[in-house]
Amino acid sequence: MSETAKKRQNLYRIVAVGLMAALVYIGNFMEIRLNNDARVHLGNSMCLLAGLLFGGINGGLSSGIGGALYDLFNPAYVLSAPYTFFSKFSMGWVAGKINRTGIKSEFKRTLIAAICGQVTYIVLYLGKSFIEQLILGNPVETATTVMVEKAVTSCINGVLAVIIAVPLSIAIRKALRASGFKALIDEKPESKGYFTPVTIALTAFAVIVTAGFGIRLSAEKKIQKAEAEKEAAYQQQIDDLTYQLEYLYEQMGIEPPVVEEVSE
Confidence of residue 46 (pLDDT cuts 50, 70, 90): very high
Whether the pLDDT of residue 191 is over 60: the answer is no
Identify whether 202 is part of a domain: yes
Do 121 and 227 have their domain in common?
no
Q: Which of 161, 85, 71, 149 is nearest to 116 (CA)?
A: 161
Identify whether 261 is part of a domain: no
For 88-126, how does the pLDDT look when each residue is reduced to its tens digit (9 = 90+)?
A: 999 999 999 999 887 889 999 999 999 999 999 999 999
Do 158 and 230 have their domain in common?
no
CA atoms within 13 A on the CB side of 149: 15
Q: In the prediction, which pLDDT does 222 show?
A: 66
Whether the pLDDT of residue 161 is over 90: the answer is yes
Q: Tell me what percent of the chain is helix, strand and coil, each rounded to the nearest 5.
A: 75, 0, 20
Whether the pLDDT of residue 13 is over 80: the answer is yes
Q: In the prediction, which pLDDT does 202 show?
A: 60
Q: Give the H or E element holding residue 135.
A: helix 106-135
Identify whether 264 is part of a domain: no
15 within 8 A of 58, measured Cβ to Cβ = no
Do 153 and 200 have their domain in common?
no
CATH number at residue 99: 1.10.1760.20
Q: Could you give the CA distance from residue 79 to residue 73 in angstroms, rounded to a whole number?
A: 11
Q: How far out from the chain centre does Cα 111 lie?
A: 23
Do 212 and 175 have their domain in common?
no
Whether the pLDDT of residue 242 is over 70: the answer is yes
Confidence of residue 79 (pLDDT cuts 50, 70, 90): confident
Q: In the prediction, which pLDDT does 236 show?
A: 86
**For the chain, how many structural domains are there in total?**
2
Do 173 and 208 have their domain in common?
no
Identify whether 216 is part of a domain: yes
Whether the pLDDT of residue 199 is over 70: the answer is no
Where is pLDDT greater, at 134 or 169?
A: 169
Domain range for 247 is 195-253
Residue ending a domain, choose from 171, 189, 207:
189
Identify whether 156 is part of a domain: yes
Lowest model confidence (mean pLDDT) among 146-150, 164-168, 195-199, 232-236? 195-199
Residue ending a domain, choose from 189, 219, 240:
189
Do 133 and 200 have their domain in common?
no
Q: In the prediction, which pLDDT does 53 show?
A: 94
DSSP string, 7-59: HHHHHHHHHHHHHHHHHHHHHTTSEEESSSS-EEESHHHHHHHHHHHH-HHHH
Q: In the prediction, which pLDDT does 210 show?
A: 59
Residues of the chain above pLDDT 90, percent: 34
For 22-32, how does the pLDDT look when each residue is reduced to its tens digit (9 = 90+)?
A: 999 999 999 88
